[in-house]
Amino acid sequence: MGKIRFIKSEIDKLPVPANGKRIEYFDADLPGFGLRVTENKKIYFVISRVKGRLQRVTIGQHGVFTPDKARKIAAEILVEMRKGIDINREKAKERDRGITLGIILEEYFKAKPDLRPNTVSTYQGLIKNHLSDWLNTPLAGISKDMVSKRHLKLAENIGRAQANNVMRTLRLLYNYAYALSDGDMPENPVQRLSHTKQWFRIDRRKTMLREHEIKPWVAGVRAIDNPTIRDYLIFVLFTGLREREAKQLRWEDVCFEERTFTIRKESAKNKRECILPMSDFVHNLLFQREGMKVNDFIFPGNGETGHLQEVHRQLKIIEDKTAIKSETGSIEKAGIKVCLHDLRRTFASIAESEASYMAVKTLLNHAISADVTQGYIQVPMIDLRKAVEKISRRLLRDIKGNEPMGDKVTPIDRKRF
Q: Where are the domains of the chain?
A: 2-85, 98-195, 211-416
CB distance 287 to 276 below 8 Å: no
* Res 201: pLDDT: 87
> Could you read off the pLDDT tens digit of each residue along the chain, which spans 417 residues?
578 889 888 888 888 887 778 899 999 889 999 999 988 889 999 988 888 788 888 888 898 889 999 999 999 888 888 888 877 776 666 665 668 899 889 889 988 888 877 788 889 999 999 999 999 988 888 999 999 999 999 999 988 989 999 999 999 999 988 888 766 678 899 999 999 999 998 766 668 888 888 998 998 898 888 999 999 999 999 999 999 899 999 999 999 999 999 998 888 887 788 899 999 999 999 999 998 898 999 999 988 889 998 888 888 888 877 655 555 555 455 678 888 899 999 999 999 988 888 889 889 888 665 454 444 446 788 989 999 999 999 999 999 744 444 444 433 333 322
The pLDDT of residue 410 is 37
Q: Of 31, 25, 85, which is closest to residue 53 (Cα–Cα)? A: 85
Q: Which CATH architecture has domain 211-416?
A: Orthogonal Bundle (1.10)
DSSP SS3 for 46: strand
Distance of CA 275 to the CA centre of its chain: 24
CATH 1.10.150.130 fits domain 98-195? yes
What gap in Å lies between CA 125 and CA 132, rounded to an integer?
A: 10
- Tell me if 2-85 shares its fold with 98-195: no
**60: phi then psi, degrees, rounded to nearest 5:** 160, -175
pTM listed for this prediction? 0.57
In eight-state DSSP terms, residue 223 is T
Q: What is the spatial distance between Cα 268 and Cα 366, in angstroms, rounded to a whole number?
A: 9
CA atoms within 13 A on the CB side of 382: 0
pLDDT at 93: 65
Write down the architecture of domain 2-85 according to CATH: 2-Layer Sandwich (3.30)
